Amino acid sequence: MEGLVDRLASLPPGLIYLVAAALLVLETGSLIGLTVPAEATLLLVGFLAFEGRLELGAALVAMITAAAAGDSLAFRAGRKYGPRLRASGLGRRVGEDRWRRADELIVRHGGAAMMLARWLAFVRTLAPRLAGSSGMRYRRFLPWNLAGVASWAGASILAGYAAGESYRRMSAVLGQATGVVLALIAAVVALTVIGRRLARARR
């Protein structure tokens, strides 16, 4: 990731906007965010604005727009392919009752969930697809998602701007935090699987 960031920094300003925006679109639009969270890109954009190579206002507008576009693509993908997933063997194993309860949860709390999901690496990559597959209306998804995107992208860019030369250190800290979150999620999943197997063995 650091090599990619270095290459991005070496580009002309116009290409930096374009490439950084493309990375943000791909993060959720193509599931690349499951392997490459976008905070490092946003911190770099903020740092380059601090150096005067980019305009801060233009960077904020461009990155927020790109991230929102990626989420919209993911939402549409969830809407289009969600029914196929439910009809698949995996979807049938989940069970219609669980699907129905997930739909009800999204309908009741989906808006706020979309806003908060933007702050969680990997979760923000999947959340728009779940919203689309659950049948949430786009006009409800969009404003909440924009609020999450604007706050997350804006805060990350401004953090890179405020950090100045220390943006690399901040990027490393965010990467370590993401690793901790992943480890915790993996532990919870493992404990859940073990607990279910033990319960089945007892039965």
C-alpha 23/C-alpha 62 separation (Å) is 12
CB 20, CB 8: distance < 8 Å: yes
Percentage of the chain modeled with pLDDT above 90: 22
Let me know if 28 is exposed, middle or buried by CB neighbors in 10 A (0-12, 13-18, 19+): buried
**Residue 119: which pLDDT band, with cuts at 50, 70 and 90?**
confident
Please list, in sequence order, all residues whose beta carbon lies within 8 angstroms of the beta carbon of residue 1, skipping any fewer than 6 positions away: 36, 40, 175
**Structure confidence at residue 47 (pLDDT):** 86
**Structure confidence at residue 18 (pLDDT):** 92
Taking the alpha carbons at both ends of the chain, their separation in whole angstroms is 48
C-alpha 150/C-alpha 115 separation (Å) is 10
pLDDT, tens digit, for every residue of 50-84? 888 899 999 999 999 999 999 999 899 888 887 77
More confident residue, 8 or 63: 63
- Residue 77's identity, in one-letter code, is A
Count up the domains in the chain and report the number: 1
The mean pLDDT value of the chain amounts to: 76
Residue appearing with tokens 């604007």: 150
CB 77, CB 129: distance < 8 Å: yes
pLDDT, tens digit, for every residue of 134-159? 878 899 899 999 999 999 999 989 98
| Whole-prediction pTM | 0.70
C-alpha 170/C-alpha 191 separation (Å) is 32
Q: Where are the alpha helices (DSSP H) in the chain?
A: 2-9, 13-29, 39-51, 56-87, 89-94, 96-117, 123-134, 138-163, 167-202
C-alpha 171/C-alpha 110 separation (Å) is 30
More confident residue, 94 or 141: 141
Structural domain boundaries enclosing 102: 2-202
More confident residue, 88 or 29: 29
Q: Is the per-residue pLDDT at 180 higher than 50? A: no
Structure tokens at 37: 């969270």
